[in-house]
Structure 1
Amino acid sequence: MKRYLTLAFTLLLTSAVFAQSGYRIGAKVSDFVLKDAQDRAIPLSSFKDAKVVVVVFTSVKCPNSKLYEARLQNISQAYGGRGVNFVFVNAAIGLDEGSAKTQPDNPNGNPTFPYLVDEGQQLSKQFGATKAPEVFVLQNTADGFVLRYKGAIDDNPQVESYVKENYLRSALDDVLAGRTVSTPERRATGCLIKRF
């Protein structure tokens, strides 16, 4: 019995540690620099004129990420004129993808957003991203970028026409209107980002 209690306590403690990794809602996000597919350095601070930056952890090899490519492209275009910039980060989901410098297939032509490479998974660890795709909404404030939403894009990864709740769009609308995000976290579903 004592062994089971010890095991249960260890599992509870371990899950609490993993649940608290990365930025929490309301935390200031440190500046970061990642390279794009052409080896150009792109810092977060280069988006100083944006009202909001959406960091999307995705993967060129994840089927769930592929299901969201067109949706994210449409959201990016819909909110681009309102001061929202999207940054796509290729978060390796397996050992063979650690240095992938490819971009996702884009059904609408050339991407209209930076697509960066998370070498060594440094940024996904910093943010606490666990799935691809997973989004982080950063509001540009006088003190720097602050995390306002993290998690899922919507409630139906498989079929866009069956989506009932657009979590990302709702969060963007709240932030742009100066409101507190009504639901600041939603568990992302998708491919697990395997740590190596």
Structure 2
Amino acid sequence: MKYVASLLTTLLFSASVFAQSGGYQLGDKVADFTLKSAQNQSVSLSNFTNAKTVVLVFTNNQCAYAKMYESRLLNLAGSYGAKGVQFIFINPGAGDTGETLQDMAAKQYRPYLADEGQAISTQFGAMKTPEVFVLHNDNGNFTLKYKGSIDDNPQMESAVKNFYLKNVIDEVLANRNVSPSDKRVTGCLIKKY
């Protein structure tokens, strides 16, 4: 019986690791996608080929961690917009958790897209909210440069020591190597439907 329990534990752990490694890997080219915005309009990644960098933020209106990061994300989007950085907010639970386009429209995120059916969050391998993916634009081809956490302290903005997302954006804009390239996310698990 102990052997069976150990085998099951090993299989479950292996499946969990495999599930977490899914989606785009650093350096991969990202395919175009189209989602519906909170204003009920179709928005594609290819609409932003004039941006130097695109930051995808998987978030939602119900996660406590997403709420803690809301003002930080809006401040980053505002301060980097003039430098050619486009933030795109994606809700991986829209339509499935009761969040509607009207709920999403109440947020200040622009654009805020509904990932109904979770095709895009699965494609990227997003596991938690909020989780960010930084894409470098090279003549209309987007390459994944970073995926992970926004910073090292979701609870207290004043106590942040490592500004992962801000530093990565600065490095991508300066055409420098990105470090860290992948930081573990603290947030709410994306419930798969």
| TM-score scaled by length of structure 1 | 0.90
- Please tell me whether residue 51 in structure 1 is matched to residue 52 in structure 2: yes
Q: Deviations over 1:71-93 (max 9, x none)?
A: 10110111111110000011218
The Cα of 1:16 is off from its aligned counterpart by 3.0
SS of 1:102's partner is helix
Amino acid at match of 1:92: G
The Cα of 1:149 is off from its aligned counterpart by 0.4
Residue of structure 2 equivalent to 1:87: 88
CA-atom RMSD, angstroms?
2.0
182, 185, 189: which one pairs with 2:182?
185
Residue of structure 2 equivalent to 1:67: 68
Contact 2:37 2:101 in 1 (8 A): no
The Cα of 1:103 is off from its aligned counterpart by 2.6
For 2:183 and 2:60, the matched residues in 1 are separated by: 19
Contact 1:101 1:117 in 2 (8 A): no
Contact 1:59 1:92 in 2 (8 A): yes
Contact 1:99 1:119 in 2 (8 A): no
Q: Deviations over 1:118-159 (max 9, x none)?
A: 111111111111111000000001361000001110011011
Contact 1:31 1:44 in 2 (8 A): yes
Residue of structure 1 equivalent to 2:78: 77
For 1:125 and 1:102, the matched residues in 2 are separated by: 22
Amino acid at match of 2:182: E
For 1:88 and 1:172, the matched residues in 2 are separated by: 16
The Cα of 1:4 is off from its aligned counterpart by 4.4
Query: How many residues are aligned here?
Result: 192
Residue of structure 2 equivalent to 1:173: 170
Contact 2:25 2:144 in 1 (8 A): yes
SS of 1:73's partner is helix
Map residues 152-167 of structure 1 onto 2, 5 A cutoff.
Answer: 152-167=149-164
Identity of aligned residues (%): 47
Question: Relative to 1, partners in 2 of residues 1:17 and 1:101: Cα closer, same or farther, differing over 3 Å?
Answer: farther
Contact 1:93 1:194 in 2 (8 A): no
For 2:68 and 2:10, the matched residues in 1 are separated by: 38
The Cα of 1:190 is off from its aligned counterpart by 1.0
Give unpaired runs (5+ residues) of structure 2: none
- Please tell me whether residue 122 in structure 1 is matched to residue 119 in structure 2: yes
The Cα of 1:12 is off from its aligned counterpart by 3.9
**Structure 1 ranges of 4+ moved more than 2 A:** 1-9, 93-106
Contact 1:98 1:119 in 2 (8 A): no
Q: Deviations over 1:146-193 (max 9, x none)?
A: 000011100110110000100000110111110111111111111110
